[in-house]
Every structure is written in C-alpha cells, then in structure tokens.
Amino acid sequence: MGRPLVASIGSAALKNNLQVARRAAPGARIWSVIKANAYGHRIDHVWPALRESDGFAMLNTEEAIGLREQGWKGPILMLEGFFHADELPVFDRYRLTCVLHSNWQVKALADARLGAPLDIYLKINSGMNRLGLAPERVNNVWQQLRGLRNVGEITLMSHFACAEKLDGANEALARFELAVEGIVAPRSLANSAAVLWQPQTHYDWVRPGILLYGASPSGQWRDVATSGLRPVMTLSSEIIAVQTLRAGDAVGYGARYRARAGQRIGIVAAGYADGYPRVAPDGTPVRVDGVMTGTVGMVSMDMLAVDLTPCPQAGIGSHVELWGEHVRVDDVAAACGTIGYELLSAVAPRVAFVTV
C-alpha cells in the first residue's frame, strides 16, 4: 500500500459508452480515438474493453507499435499521418492507415518504397484551418493519389470545429461536400459531438473520443446527462491529515482561504503534480466519505484541502473522490475554466492505475 491516489478505469463503463456510440451512429463503423494515451486513461487499460471497435485512432507511432505488440490486428488510423518521411517504414511494417493532410506528405508517400500499399485518409480543411487540403485542391490530389502504387483504399475525411453547437456542423459539411463532389469513396467526419448531435455527418466511419471516456464533448455534463454515458475514470485518494481551524485561520500557500468560523478541513493526497488543476478555486466539487463538499485554499504540488463541515464523521483514511462516478470531471473542469478533456489527459505519470 503506497500513496492512496489511484485512477481506476472501469471496463464496463467503456463497453457501455462504445454501445452508446453504436446506437447513436448505427450505420457507421467506429474508430475509437485513443490518442494522448487514451485521453489520459492509458491505452493498455482501455483497449481490451474497446476491442469491439472497428479500429483505433491515435497519433504516435510508439503508441501504434505498442498496440500491435499487445495483439491488436485490426485497423489503426494515424490521425496526423507521418510527421517525417522517415516514419514511413513503420507505417508499412505495422500496416497503419495514414492521414494525408499536406502536399509534402503526398510527395513523400509517392517516393517511398513500401512492401504493400497503405490505406489513406485524405484530410480536407472544411473551415477549421488547422490541418487539411484546401477544398479546391481535393480533386487534383485525389486523381494523383489514385495513380500511386503506394496507395490502397482512400477515405475522405474532415474534422469539425463546432459540432457541439446547434447546426454547428452544417457549414463545414457543405464545404466538404462541395470539395468532394463526384468522388466515390468512404467518408469519415464525426467526432463525439457529431456522433451524438449531428446524425447527418455520420457516413461510413465515425471517430468518437471523449464520449468513450464518459465525459461531455461540450464540456457541460448536463448536455449528455440523459445519453447513457458513464464516466470511465475515477480518480480517488484519502484524507491523510485533519486540521481544526479557528476563525481567521488560513489554509495553504498564499493563505488564499481563511476560515470565517471554526471549521474542520481534510488534507488529501492529490496535487497539481498528479494532474489536479492548480487553478481550482475554493468550492471546487469533491466527494468525501460519500458526501459532496468543496476544496479550500490553493492546490499544492502533492496535496489539496477540503472542507469537512458537511461530513463531520470524515477523518484520516476517509475516501475522497476527486472525479469519477459521482463528481463529474466536467463539473470540476467547469469550476477551473476548462473542459474534461484537459483534466483527463493531464493525469500525471506518477498516478497509479487499476482496471476494474
């Protein structure tokens, strides 16, 4: 028994959330997005529960090689393609489906010596202006790719900037449709928000990420509260010390919090070096011994403090849920001015993980 801070990863919740995606997009195949080490959940802890996925999408060749070595034989989509042409032998050897978003990648692929053609996702800029070909270039590049011996199946792809908004995908969808007019090929556009809320974008392959982990693509839990999604990660710890404050006593660095009257507080083994946000204000939701309460004072590197007023029975060893089934990561994130994605993917390497 070491430090009590643990991230437990719920396999049943992952399976449930994959089913939610299937029901939402019944005609599409699913790329389960496991970039950023499965949004901080760690690929080795999630992929067995997601093996009913049609494929896995990610970013790094290291992660892709790891997944192959753990036995995944199905499709792997590399969401940004290769970063340098010298990665192409890895794409070839491990049979990685490759996004092409820039001209230099098309040239590098044309010049490569591969054992077999690679399947390609041709990425089109539909208005986000991050990655992708300009719409007016798509037809030429498509023709060019079709003539290359290194190119297998080509899928047309784009990514939405605003799919969580009402009608927020339609402008991008119209740009995409115009760009690919007349091209017969599979299409892949939808992220989690579009899987849930933009059925007109589902096409052949969808690419849910955050919904698989049971957080909201909009950053607001209320938007998915009735969707059947279940939080996958529970980040929990224990109270390791108790302080009894008198009126005027301060807590933590900078003495940001001061007790207005007598108050018990608990010190929790979790801090910003674990990925708990340092910007969390007083009152950020946390659950102690089954009771909702709030943080007090500045989060330190290894510890944070919680108000024990609503749970007078709590003491040293009491269970603390920082986020998970009862404390929505979206609510913690909202208190901190960010989204669940950032908190989950920032869980630090020193945190212990278990699969349940």
Ligand X SMILES: *Cc1c(COP(=O)(O)O)cnc(C)c1O
* Catalytic positions, written as ranges: 35, 253
Draw the binding track, 54-73, toward ligand X (x: CB under 6 A; -: no contact).
Answer: --------------------
Q: Which is closer to ligand X, CB of 190 or CB of 259? A: 190
Stretch that binds ligand X, among 10-18, 40-48, 207-215, 302-310 (CB under 6 A): 207-215
Site for ligand X in 172-191 (CB under 6 A): 191
312: Cα within 13 Å, side-chain hemisphere:
2
- Which residue number is nearest to ligand X in terms of Cβ? 209
Least distance CB 24 / ligand X (angstroms): 12
Which contiguous run of DSSP H or E holds residue 108?
helix 103-111
DSSP letters, 28-42, are SEEEEE-HHHHHTT-
Q: In whole angstroms, how close is the CB of 195 to ligand X at the nearest point?
A: 7
Rank residues 123 and 287 by Cβ distance to ligand X and give the closer one.
123
54, burial (CB in 10 Å: exposed 0-12, middle 13-18, buried 19+): middle
230 vs 258 by CB, closer to ligand X: 230
Burial profile 194-206: b = 16 or more Cβ within 10 angstroms, e = fewer: bbbbbeebbbebb
Residues 31-50: x where in contact with ligand X by CB under 6 A, - otherwise, as a string = --x-x---------------
- Residue from 125, 192, 218, 345 touching ligand X (CB under 6 A): that is 192
For the CB of residue 17, give the shortest distance to ligand X in the complex, in Å.
11
Q: Looking at 206-214, 273-281, 297-305, 316-324, which segment touches ligand X (CB under 6 A)?
A: 206-214
Return the residues of window 240-269 that contact ligand X according to CB under 6 A.
none
- The binder of ligand X chosen from 81, 127, 132, 209 (CB under 6 A): 209
Return the range that interacts with ligand X (CB under 6 A); candidates 41-49, 209-217, 237-245, 249-257: 209-217
Decide if residue 208 touches ligand X (CB under 6 A). Answer: yes
For the beta carbon of residue 224, count every other beta carbon within 10 angstroms. 23
Interaction between residue 210 and ligand X (CB under 6 A) = yes
Cα 223 to the center of its chain, rounded Å? 17
Three-class SS state of 178: helix
CA dihedral 235→241→247→251, nearest 10 degrees, is: -60
**Interface with ligand X includes 53 (CB under 6 A)?**
no
Q: What are the angstrom distances between the C-alpha of 255 and each of 169, 252, 309?
A: 46, 6, 19
Q: What is the DSSP string of 267-328?
A: EES--GGGT--TTPPTT-EEEETTEEEEEES---SS-EEEE-TT-TT--TT-EEEEESSSS-
Q: Which is nearer to ligand X, 33 or 303 (CB)?
A: 33
| Residue number, 99 or 267, with CB nearest to ligand X | 99
Q: Do the Cβ atoms of 306 and 295 come closer than 8 Å?
A: yes
Q: Which residues are CB-neighbours of 23 under 8 A, at least 6 positions away?
A: none
Structure tokens at 192: 């989690």
Task: Please report, as ranges, the residues that interact with ligand X according to CB under 6 A.
Answer: 33, 35, 79, 159, 191-192, 207-210, 217
